[in-house]
Amino acid sequence: MPRTESELESRLRAFVRANFLFGREHSEPSDSDSLLETGVMDSTGVLEIVDFLKVTWDVDVSDHEMLPENLDSIERLAAFVRRKLTARQDRA
């Protein structure tokens, strides 16, 4: 589990910057901006994010969870990861 709330957002932002902005850091979206609507990522990018969540936090994303409500902004991604990590801790 990330040590602080900002650590999670920071890692997500760094991933987006490194994998989707390609030198366009000046146009980095805010944490609440839609990554799809702003053109930062496309449907293939969603799959890259899903892989990043699995590798980084061992978070599985099922087909029914692949929704903009979960994966379309830094804020939504962070909230989704927190819910998944909390659910895992509650089961342990």
List the CATH number of the domain containing 24. 1.10.1200.10
> What pLDDT is stored for residue 25 in this prediction?
64
| Tens digit of pLDDT at every position of the chain (92 positions) | 565 668 999 999 999 999 999 876 667 889 999 999 999 999 999 999 999 999 999 999 999 999 999 999 999 999 999 999 999 988 87
pTM for the model = 0.89
C-alpha dist (Å) from residue 39 to 4, 27, 30, 62, 88: 29, 11, 13, 24, 32
Q: Which domain holds residue 53?
A: 5-91
- Position 27 scores a pLDDT of 76
Q: What is the pLDDT of residue 86?
A: 93
How many Cβ atoms from other residues are within 10 Å of residue 35's Cβ?
A: 22
pLDDT of residue 3: 59
Number of domains present in the structure of the chain: 1
